[in-house]
Structure formats: structure tokens, C-alpha cells
């Protein structure tokens, strides 16, 4: 049985200018110890999807659907019980380590907070465990770091602290929302390595949210591609990169700069057009306006997910690697 089973998840924000449909009938599963990558461009709803699982969204959000975690529907939990899931069973690592850590508390205090809240550890035990965690995330001179404040640490170290904090209670799921986007390129690889390492060692399932396909290729077992709040494609990572079916995925892959030795550099393929406004649910396929394969059918009907290749789902009327459908 999968660890996490999300079905029919929809999130709607009620703003002053009307509703925004950020996520539309999203569904995915996560197995124990698996690394699932969710990719898509900014605003496609990948962060909102995951944050809605533990209701980390503002009050203007209306969430509907089901999210079965270990048999319990997260979306039906009371706030009190939800607090016991957050940080303990499902943890988050966010994009901006500088602003995501409280500037007035030491590292020890911030990690210790989770330990004392969920595991009831004493001050001394919490400090010991925090030290272990800092070693786990490979921070040099961890004893010193415990008493330091976030502004005294570098970006990469802060992110490691965030990861340590997230793993403190040995959660079943770690959601990493763009964990390396705000970091220097040279640091990014280290963080990704760390995440892979830790996930393997501890058996933690990871949901990796990113717009960067390179990151996904590195870490993920399976990949979900989202577009405009809907799932466009889903497959094992290797399968997806080798045989992309959805024109959006193909476009994303084509947009990756690939310097090939000896050959003339090709022009980067852009995907023309822009993401549709989410104020109204698009009538047909959300990608229709930008799709080279669009026709009457795609503009009036919403494509459903279908298994086009073994264990490879696509929501498209004209799936296929070469534009043929």
C-alpha cells in the first residue's frame, strides 16, 4: 500500500478579484522510501499541492479532495491532530533558508523546538540529538553551530540546518520545495547529494518540488509533470527523460541547454505563449494555446490521464515523442 495517496485534490483561493483555481483534481501516490519529483514552471501549483496536504495555506484557500496518509485522510483531520503530523510525519524544507529560519533563535533552539514538541525530549537530550542531526547533514564544527544564529551561517549551511530540523523526528515524508533554487550553483550539488544520501539511509520518502529538470534527473525515482494546476504526465524518471509523451514535457526538455561537443550548438527551444490565468478553469486542455498539436478537440475537451506506455501516464489527446499522435 502506498504511503501517501492523493486523489481529486483541488485548491481554490478566494481573492478580492475573484477565485483562483491553483490546483485542479490533482492525484498522485508516494511509496515508502520513494523519491517523487514534481516539476513544472512557477505558478503551476506544485507547491500549493504539497502545502495543502498539511493545510499550510492561507485562510483564503479552499481545499477539497482526499489525501490518505497511512490510511488517514489528512484533509479531514482537526487542526490539533494535524499539528501532530506536521514536523513529525511530514516535514518541509523551503526555498529560502535565510528567511525560513527565525533570526532571533539559535540553531539549537530551533531544532530543539521540534524535538521537545513532538518527542518530549529534555533540554539536554534535545541538544544531544540536535548535535547528531547536524552531523547527519554534514555540517562542520557542529558544537559551535548549535549556539550560532542564522545570520552567522552561510546559505548552504542554513539549508542543511533546515534539513536537519525537518528530519529531527524521523518523518516518513520530507517535502523539499525548491531546496536549491536560492543557493549558489556550487552548493546545490552538495545539498542534493545530502538529500539522496539521507533518504536512502533513513528510508524517508521525499517529494522534490522544482522547476529544474536537472535536479529531478539526479534524485527522483518517479516524476510528475504539472501544468496550470493539473497533472500532465507521470512516469519513472528514466522513462520520462527517455520517452517524453506530453508536448509540454518535450518542450521543457528541449529548453534545456545541452552543449554537445563538436556539434553546432542548437537554438534553445522555447515554448511560445504564457501560462493561462487560473481565474477560470480552462475549458479544454490547459496547454492548448501553446501546443503545436492543438486542434478542435483539445480546445473543447479536457484530456484525461491514460496509460500510454507501461506505467507511464499522460493527459493528452496527441501524446507521442515525435509530434505524431
Partner 1 sequence: MGGFLLRKVGAALVVLVIASMLVFAGVRAIPGNPAIALGAEDRDPALIAQIKHKYMLDRPLPVQYAHWVWLALHGDLGATQSELPVAHTIVQRLPISLELAVLSLVVSVLIGIPAGVIAAVRRGRPEDYVATTGALVGLSVPHFWLGLLFIIWFAVDLHWLPAGGYVTLHHPLSNLEHMVMPAIVLGTGFAAVLMRQMRSSMLSTLNADYVRTARAKGLSERAVVWRHAARNSLITVTTLLGLQLGALISGVVVTETVFQIAGFGQLTILAVNQRDYPLIQGVVLVTATAYVVVNLLVDVVYSLLNPRIRVT
Q: How many CA atoms lie within 13 A of 14 on its CB side?
A: 5
Q: Decide: is 173 part of the binding site for partner 1 (CB under 8 A).
A: no
Q: Which residues pair with 198 in a beta bridge?
A: none
Cβ-contact 236, 311 below 8 angstroms: yes
Q: Decide: is 86 part of the binding site for partner 1 (CB under 8 A).
A: yes
Q: Binders of partner 1: how many residues, by CB under 8 A? A: 29
Q: Decide: is 99 part of the binding site for partner 1 (CB under 8 A).
A: yes
Query: Please, which residue, 165 or 209, has the CB nearer to partner 1?
Result: 165
CB of 72 to partner 1, least distance (A): 15
Query: Please, which residue, 107 or 250, has the CB nearer to partner 1?
Result: 107
Q: Decide: is 240 part of the binding site for partner 1 (CB under 8 A).
A: no
Contacts of 96 (CB under 8 A, 6+ apart): 182
Q: Decide: is 149 part of the binding site for partner 1 (CB under 8 A).
A: yes
**Choice from 66, 88, 138, 299 touching partner 1 (CB under 8 A):** 88
Measured distance CA(75)–CA(297) in Å, rounded: 35
The distance of Cα 253 from the centroid of its chain, to the nearest Å, equals 18
**Choice from 18, 71, 79, 140 touching partner 1 (CB under 8 A):** 79
Q: Decide: is 182 part of the binding site for partner 1 (CB under 8 A).
A: no
Q: Decide: is 206 part of the binding site for partner 1 (CB under 8 A).
A: no
Query: Please, which residue, 50 or 213, has the CB nearer to partner 1?
Result: 50
Measured distance CA(217)–CA(196) in Å, rounded: 12
Q: Decide: is 48 part of the binding site for partner 1 (CB under 8 A).
A: no
Measured distance CA(65)–CA(73) in Å, rounded: 9
Cβ-contact 98, 112 below 8 angstroms: no
**Choice from 32, 41, 113, 239 touching partner 1 (CB under 8 A):** 113
Query: Please, which residue, 59 or 263, has the CB nearer to partner 1?
Result: 59
Measured distance CA(253)–CA(245) in Å, rounded: 11
β-pairing verdict for 230-236 and 312-315 = antiparallel
Query: Please, which residue, 36 or 93, has the CB nearer to partner 1?
Result: 93
Enumerate residues 275-314 that contact partner 1 by CB under 8 A: none
Q: Decide: is 179 part of the binding site for partner 1 (CB under 8 A).
A: no
Cell of 37: 519529483
Q: Decide: is 67 part of the binding site for partner 1 (CB under 8 A).
A: no
Rounded to whole angstroms, the maximal C-alpha distance in the chain is 67
**Choice from 26, 35, 101, 291 touching partner 1 (CB under 8 A):** 101
Query: Please, which residue, 88 or 243, has the CB nearer to partner 1?
Result: 88
Residue whose C-alpha is closest to residue 207's, from 194, 222, 197: 222
Contacts of the segment 238-242: beta carbons below 8 A, 24+ positions apart = 239/309, 239/311, 239/312, 240/312, 241/213, 241/217
CB of 310 to partner 1, least distance (A): 36
SS3 state at 281? coil
Q: Decide: is 74 part of the binding site for partner 1 (CB under 8 A).
A: no
Residue numbers at the binding site for partner 1 (CB under 8 A): 54, 56, 79, 83-88, 91-92, 94, 96, 99-104, 113-114, 117-118, 148-149, 151-152, 162, 165
Amino acid at each position: 500500500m502506498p504511503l501517501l495517496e492523493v486523489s481529486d485534490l483541488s485548491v481554490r483561493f478566494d481573492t478580492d478579484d475573484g477565485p483562483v483555481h491553483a490546483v485542479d483534481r490533482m492525484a498522485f501516490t508516494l511509496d515508502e522510501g520513494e523519491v517523487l519529483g514534481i516539476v513544472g514552471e512557477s505558478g503551476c501549483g506544485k507547491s500549493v499541492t504539497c502545502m495543502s496536504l498539511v493545510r499550510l495555506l492561507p485562510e483564503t484557500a479552499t481545499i477539497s479532495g482526499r489525501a490518505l496518509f497511512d490510511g488517514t485522510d489528512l484533509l479531514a483531520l482537526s487542526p490539533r491532530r494535524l499539528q501532530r503530523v506536521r514536523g513529525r510525519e511530514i516535514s518541509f524544507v523551503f526555498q529560502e533558508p535565510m528567511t525560513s529560519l527565525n533570526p532571533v533563535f539559535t540553531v539549537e533552539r530551533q531544532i530543539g523546538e521540534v524535538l521537545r514538541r513532538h518527542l518530549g525530549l529534555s533540554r539536554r537530550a534535545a541538544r544531544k540529538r540536535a548535535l547528531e542531526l547536524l552531523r547527519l547533514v554534514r555540517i562542520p564544527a557542529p558544537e559551535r553551530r548549535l549556539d550560532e544564529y542564522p545570520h552567522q551561517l552561510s546559505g548552504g549551511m542554513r539549508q542543511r540546518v533546515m534539513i536537519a530540523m525537518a528530519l529531527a523526528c524521523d518523518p516518513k515524508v520530507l517535502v523539499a520545495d525548491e531546496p536549491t533554487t536560492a543557493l549558489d550553483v556550487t552548493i546545490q550539488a552538495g545539498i542534493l547529494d545530502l538529500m539522496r544520501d539521507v533518504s536512502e539511509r533513513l528510508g524517508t520518502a521525499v517529494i522534490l518540488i522544482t522547476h529544474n529538470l536537472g535536479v529531478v534527473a539526479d534524485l527522483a525515482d518517479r516524476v510528475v509533470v504539472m501544468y496550470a494546476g493539473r497533472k500532465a504526465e507521470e512516469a519513472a524518471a528514466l522513462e520520462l527523460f527517455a520517452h517524453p509523451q506530453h508536448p509540454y514535457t518535450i518542450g521543457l526538455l528541449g529548453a534545456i541547454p545541452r552543449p554537445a561537443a563538436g556539434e553546432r550548438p542548437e537554438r534553445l527551444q522555447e515554448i511560445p505563449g504564457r501560462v493561462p490565468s487560473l481565474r477560470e478553469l480552462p475549458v479544454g486542455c490547459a496547454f492548448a494555446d501553446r501546443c503545436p498539436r492543438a486542434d478542435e478537440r483539445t480546445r473543447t475537451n479536457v484530456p484525461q490521464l491514460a496509460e500510454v506506455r507501461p506505467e507511464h501516464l499522460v493527459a493528452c489527446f496527441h501524446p507521442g515523442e515525435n509530434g505524431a499522435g
